[in-house]
């Protein structure tokens, strides 16, 4: 299993090495201490409207990272399972949850191989905040997310907007990457560890959700503004910041559609 996604294992080692620095950043922001009391700090109005009343609902967060969404959902009364590939990220999140007296189940897993999570065991699966960029197989990721979801359950994705990735690595106003160049993009972290990133398109996200067996109930592009972080300094401020997708799992499970024959070719 471990060998199935060698790039993910490389990313795991990199995230383990980066976890302490990431925690320093989220400590400085301080949201994780407050979002269980004020979920609006971590979840936007559209997310909260789609989630509705989730007290007592089994909810899974995939690629939980800083766990701000996890703590917000726990504060809303959901029974939350937090999934991340990085042991070190989860150790930090577990200690933070304990310090807030929040009950959260933590599972270390690749989002493409959720073997520890049973079929149809969640009412809500949530993922977002820059996760898909680390995933080499978006169709498998979304198929796993929908497999663990109960029929009519909500699959909520709120990720970094695909168009912005074109300016990643840019030194000027022109984009550095083609929209349809999905990667992999290989970088070396400050610790000298390789990391692999992927640029999925909006269509890739929507199609993967439909193919996994959802009907699309919401799509929204939101937010403008200056990018934070050195890499992204050149991202035009007037592009949308996030892509939000809401899917409802259909009764009959995944839709059997063929793998795409070619990627990026225009429709005729
Ligand atoms: C940029 S964080 C995003 C999460 C959160 N929004 C945040 O800002 O912390 C990325 C997280 O995804 C996790 N991750 C990367 N690849 C993964 C995979 N294949 N399966 C599960 N988690 C993964 C990393 O360990 C990291 O905690």
Contact residues of ligand 1, CB 6 A cut-off:
8, 11, 15, 63, 65-66, 84-86, 89, 110-111, 129-131, 134-135
pTM score: 0.94
User: What pLDDT is recorded for position 49?
Assistant: 98
Ligand 1 center–CA 131 separation, angstroms = 5
Residue 34 burial by Cβ neighbours in a 10 Å radius (0-12, 13-18, 19+): middle
pLDDT in tens, 108-163: 999 999 999 999 999 999 999 999 999 999 999 999 999 999 999 999 999 999 99
Superfamily for 2-249? Vaccinia Virus protein VP39 (3.40.50.150)
Atom of ligand 1 minimally distant from the CA of 26: 9
Cα Rg of the chain, angstroms: 18
Q: How confident is the model at residue 255 (pLDDT cuts 50, 70, 90)?
A: low
User: What pLDDT is recorded for position 265?
Assistant: 47
**Residue of 22, 43, 63 to mutate, ligand 1, most atoms within 8 A of C-beta:** 63
pLDDT in tens, 257-268: 556 555 544 443
Residue 220 burial by Cβ neighbours in a 10 Å radius (0-12, 13-18, 19+): middle
CB atoms within 10 A of CB 257: 11
pLDDT in tens, 49-93: 999 999 999 999 999 999 999 999 999 999 999 999 999 999 999
Name which residue leads in pLDDT, 113 or 2. 113
Domain ranges of the chain: 2-249
């Amino acid at each position: 299993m471990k060998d199935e996604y060698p790039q993910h294992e490389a990313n795991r080692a990199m995230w383990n090495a980066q976890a302490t620095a990431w925690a320093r950043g989220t400590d400085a922001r301080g949201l994780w201490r407050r979002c269980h009391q004020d979920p609006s700090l971590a979840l936007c109005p559209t997310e909260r409207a789609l989630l509705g009343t989730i007290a007592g609902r089994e909810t899974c967060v995939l690629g939980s990272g800083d766990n701000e969404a996890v703590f917000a959902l726990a504060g809303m009364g959901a029974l939350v399972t937090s999934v991340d590939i990085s042991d070190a990220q989860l150790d930090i999140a577990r200690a933070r949850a304990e310090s807030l007296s929040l009950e959260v189940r933590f599972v270390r897993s690749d989002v493409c191989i959720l073997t520890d999570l049973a079929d149809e065991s969640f009412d809500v699966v949530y993922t977002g905040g820059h996760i898909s960029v680390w995933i080499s197989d978006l169709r498998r990721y979304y198929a796993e997310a929908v497999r663990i979801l109960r029929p009519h359950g909500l699959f909520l994705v709120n990720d970094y907007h695909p168009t912005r990735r074109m300016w990643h690595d840019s030194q000027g106003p022109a984009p550095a990457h083609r929209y349809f160049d999905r990667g992999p993009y290989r970088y070396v972290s400050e610790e000298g560890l390789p990391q692999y990133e992927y640029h999925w398109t909006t269509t890739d996200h929507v199609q993967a959700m439909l193919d996994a067996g959802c009907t699309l109930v919401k799509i929204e592009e939101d937010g403008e503004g200056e990018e934070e972080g050195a890499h992204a300094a050149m991202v035009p401020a007037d592009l949308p910041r996030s892509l939000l997708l809401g899917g409802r799992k259909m009764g009959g499970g995944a839709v059997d559609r063929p793998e795409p024959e070619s990627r990026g070719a225009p429709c005729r």
